[in-house]
Amino acid sequence: QLSGRQKMTESFLSQFREVYFPPAMRPLNKSLIKGDEWKDVDGAQERRRSFLYGFCKKYNSRKKLRTHLVHVVSRIYVEDRHKILYCEVPKAGCSNWKRVLMVLNGLAVSARNISHDDVHYGKHLKKLDSYDLKGIYTRLNTYTKTIFVRDPMERLVSAFRDKFEHPNSYYHPVFGKAIIKKYRQNANEEALKTGSGVKFKEFIQYLLDSHRPVGMDIHWEQVSKLCYPCLINYDFIGKFETLEEDANYFLQLVGAPAKLRFPSFKDRHSSDERTNAEVVRQYLKELSKQERQLTYDFYYLDYLMFNYTSP
C-alpha cells in the first residue's frame, strides 16, 4: 500500500503532469542582453529549444510519466540567488558548472580556487529533491532551467577513459572487478583482485548486458534518464561542443556578475588529449559492428532529442 507521503506525491504529480505535458516552451527572458554580440549563440539556442519541444510533442506518451517526481528532479542543482536550476550531465562540463554555481551562490570568490573534491564531495550545493513538494514545484515554474549535453559516444568514451584508464579507488574495485570477472576469460589473479585494466570492449559488454553484475552509473547513464528532458521544460540547452560560449551567454541571461566567465580549464587529467571524434573512432574500432550498433541504440533517444548525428 502507498504510504501517506507517496499518496501526497501521486496527487501532486497529477498536477505536475497537467502543467508539464506537453512541456510548454516559454520564451527566454533576454532583457539583460545588450547589443548583437550573442546573436548567433541565441539563434542556435532557439533552434535547439524548438527541436527538443517538437521531438517531445511527437514522441512522448502518457504512460512514460509514471515516474516519482522526486526521482525526476534528483539530478538538478539549485542556485537560489539567481534562480537557476542546472541538471547535471557528467562528462559534459558538470564540474566547472558546479564551480560556477558555487561562485554565484557566494560560496567561493573564484571558480579556479575550488578543488575537484570540494565540487563533488563538499555538499555545498543543494539539489531540487531536498525541497518539499511546494518548493520543487515553485522552482520548476519560476527558475531558469538549464541542461548541458554532449555527443553520446564522446561522453561514453570520456567516462571510460576517466574512470578506468587512471587509478580510481571506487570504479576499479566496484565496477572493474565485476566487469573483469564476468567478461574476461582466463582473467589473472591480479586483475580479479584490483579491478584495474578494464578494456573498452569489456566495458561495452557490461553496458549492453541486461543482467549487469553492477548497476548503472550516472557517468554513462542516458541523459533522457538523468534529466527527463520531455518532462521538464528546460529553458536553455547548452552543448559541450560549444560549451564556453553557451555557458557565458547563459550567465548573461540570468544576470551573473559581469566579470564571471565560465572556466576553460580541464578538471582532471589535464595532460590527456580531450576526448574528440578522432579519439572516439579509435575506441570504437575495438568493437564489432554489432556492438557499435547496439551501443548507438542504447543512446538512441539522446541522439534524437538533442539532434546529434549518428557516428
CA 35, CA 197: separation in Å to the nearest integer?
52
Q: What is this structure's pTM?
A: 0.88
Q: Is residue 123 part of a domain?
A: yes
Q: Is residue 112 part of a domain?
A: yes
Long-range contacts of range 305-308, CB-CB < 8 Å, 24 or more positions apart?
305/52, 305/55, 305/56, 305/223, 305/224, 305/229, 305/230, 306/48, 306/51, 306/52, 306/149, 306/223, 306/237, 306/239, 307/48, 307/51, 308/151, 308/152
Q: Is residue 235 part of a domain?
A: yes
Q: 3-state class of 243 per DSSP?
A: helix
Q: Given this model, what pLDDT does residue 86 score?
A: 98
Q: Given this model, what pLDDT does residue 57 score?
A: 85
Query: Where would I find the H helices in the chain?
Result: 4-20, 39-59, 69-72, 94-104, 116-121, 133-142, 152-164, 171, 177-183, 189-194, 200-208, 223-226, 243-253, 277-284, 289-298, 300-305
Phi first, then psi, for residue 304 (nearest 5°) are -70, -50
Q: Is residue 55 part of a domain?
A: yes
Residue 28 neighbours by CB under 8 Å, 6+ apart = 45, 49, 144, 235, 236, 253
Count up the domains in the chain and report the number: 1
Q: Given this model, what pLDDT does residue 63 score?
A: 45
- Average pLDDT along the chain: 88
Beta bridge partners of 79: 84
Residue 298 neighbours by CB under 8 Å, 6+ apart = 207, 208, 222
Mean of pLDDT values over 275-280: 94
Beta bridge partners of 86: 77, 146
Range of the domain at 232: 25-153+221-275+301-306
Q: Is residue 177 part of a domain?
A: no
pLDDT reading at 269 higher than 70: no
Q: Is residue 185 part of a domain?
A: no
Q: Is residue 271 part of a domain?
A: yes
CA 79, CA 127: separation in Å to the nearest integer?
9
CA 61, CA 230: separation in Å to the nearest integer?
10
Residue type, 97: W
Q: For 230-267, how does the pLDDT look when each residue is reduced to its tens digit (9 = 90+)?
A: 889 999 999 999 999 999 999 999 999 989 999 887 66
Q: Is residue 143 part of a domain?
A: yes
Task: Please say whether the beta carbons of 149 and 88 come within 8 A.
Answer: no
